[in-house]
């Protein structure tokens, strides 16, 4: 027979194994919950949106960048390890189920629809395989001598590198229009500018138009509400800072790029530094 004390001693190794297994299970569960909680919080995000307008052989105005400078900027983006991501990918990363972006991400957009975007920027887009979102005001397309044609826009979109979005119908200055029009007339004017641009672009080029660039960067709470009612999910200013998750979707910032943004100055833009 085994004495009672001897029986207790014999059971201790088994109890120890059970206790260790229980402890390990608890620690594993705690570790899982910690990882899950961390995964629920999206990683920090700071992405510059680089805004272009016109390209050309000479600097005709402050919005024109010589084509060789733009090519040098695209080379610098690659050489410094940055990745140009589509604007819609950046917007997806701002959502609740965040899309993971490359560590060094940058977005490129172009406003207005100047013909040099087709003749000068489009070849660079194809050469360097960079996606660009074009914010267009349709009244100028196939109408103004400085603007692209609908056929050119369609060709750019068909390449898979260009996304076409709205810049209102004719690029008004809403501050001036608000002063010259009665409140009801101004409200109708804003709605027409937002809705007609969206409708024409979708009809002419297909696809969904739900992003808006504010003309001259002008926006306020009233305009933002009107944009949301017109079916836009995000809108963009010309405030010089990178996009973070602290930004409002109807007032996302962008950096206007100039011909002076070369070398170290351009590198600072890539880092989200406006100075």
**Closest residue by Cα to residue 190 from 147, 146, 220:** 220
Confidence (pTM): 0.84
Q: 81 Cβ partners below 8 Å, 6+ apart?
A: 104
Does domain 47-270 correspond to CATH entry 3.40.50.150?
no
Instruction: Kindly report, residue by residue over 94-107, the tens digit of the pLDDT.
Output: 976 567 899 999 99
Q: What is the DSSP string of 66-93?
A: EHHHHHHHHHHHHHTT-EE--HHHHHHH
Instruction: Kindly report, residue by residue over 77-93, the tens digit of the pLDDT.
Output: 999 999 999 999 999 99
Q: 3 Cβ partners below 8 Å, 6+ apart?
A: none
- pLDDT given at position 44: 78
Judge whether 244 and 22 are in contact, CB under 8 Å: no
3-class DSSP assignment, residue 166? strand
Give me the phi and psi of 208, to 5 degrees please: -105, 130
Q: 60 Cβ partners below 8 Å, 6+ apart?
A: 54
Tokens linked to 230:
């017109």
| CA dist., res. 52 & res. 60, Å (int) | 14
pLDDT one digit per residue (tens) for the chain, 275 residues: 434 454 444 554 554 554 455 455 545 544 544 444 444 565 678 999 999 999 999 998 889 999 999 999 999 999 999 999 999 999 999 976 567 899 999 999 999 999 999 999 999 999 999 999 999 999 999 999 999 999 999 999 999 999 999 999 999 999 999 999 999 999 999 999 999 999 999 999 999 999 999 999 999 999 999 999 999 999 999 999 999 999 999 999 999 999 999 999 999 999 988 66
- pLDDT given at position 100: 83
- pLDDT given at position 4: 46
Task: Count CB neighbours of 28 within 10 A.
Answer: 10
Question: How far from 102 is each of 40, 44, 237, CA to CA, in Å?
Answer: 19, 12, 24
- pLDDT given at position 60: 84
Judge whether 150 and 141 are in contact, CB under 8 Å: yes
């Amino acid at each position: 027979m085994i004495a009672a004390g001897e029986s207790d001693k014999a059971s201790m190794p088994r109890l120890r194994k059970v206790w260790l297994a229980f402890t390990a299970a608890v620690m594993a569960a705690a570790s899982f919950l910690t990882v899950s909680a961390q995964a629920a919080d999206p990683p920090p995000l700071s992405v510059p949106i680089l805004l272009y307008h016109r390209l050309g052989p000479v600097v005709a105005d402050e919005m024109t960048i010589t084509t060789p400078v733009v090519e040098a900027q695209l080379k610098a983006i690659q050489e410094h390890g940055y990745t140009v991501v589509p604007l819609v990918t950046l917007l997806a990363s701002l959502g609740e189920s965040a899309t993971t972006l490359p560590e060094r991400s940058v977005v490129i957009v172009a406003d207005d629809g100047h013909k040099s975007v087709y003749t000068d920027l489009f070849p660079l887009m194809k050469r360097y395989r960079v996606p660009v979102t074009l914010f267009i005001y349709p009244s100028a397309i196939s109408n103004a001598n400085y603007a692209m044609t609908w056929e050119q826009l369609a060709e750019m979109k068909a390449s898979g590198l260009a996304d076409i979005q709205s810049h209102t119908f004719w690029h008004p200055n809403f501050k001036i229009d608000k002063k010259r029009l009665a409140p009801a007339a101004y409200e109708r004017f804003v709605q027409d500018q937002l809705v007609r641009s969206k409708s024409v672009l979708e009809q002419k080029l297909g696809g969904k138009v739900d992003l808006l660039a504010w003309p001259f960067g002008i926006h306020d709470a009233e305009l933002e509400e009107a944009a949301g009612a017109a079916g836009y999910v995000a809108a963009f200013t010309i405030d010089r800072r990178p996009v973070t998750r602290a930004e409002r979707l109807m007032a996302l910032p962008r950096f206007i790029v100039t011909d002076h943004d070369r070398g170290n100055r351009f590198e600072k833009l890539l880092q989200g530094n406006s100075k």
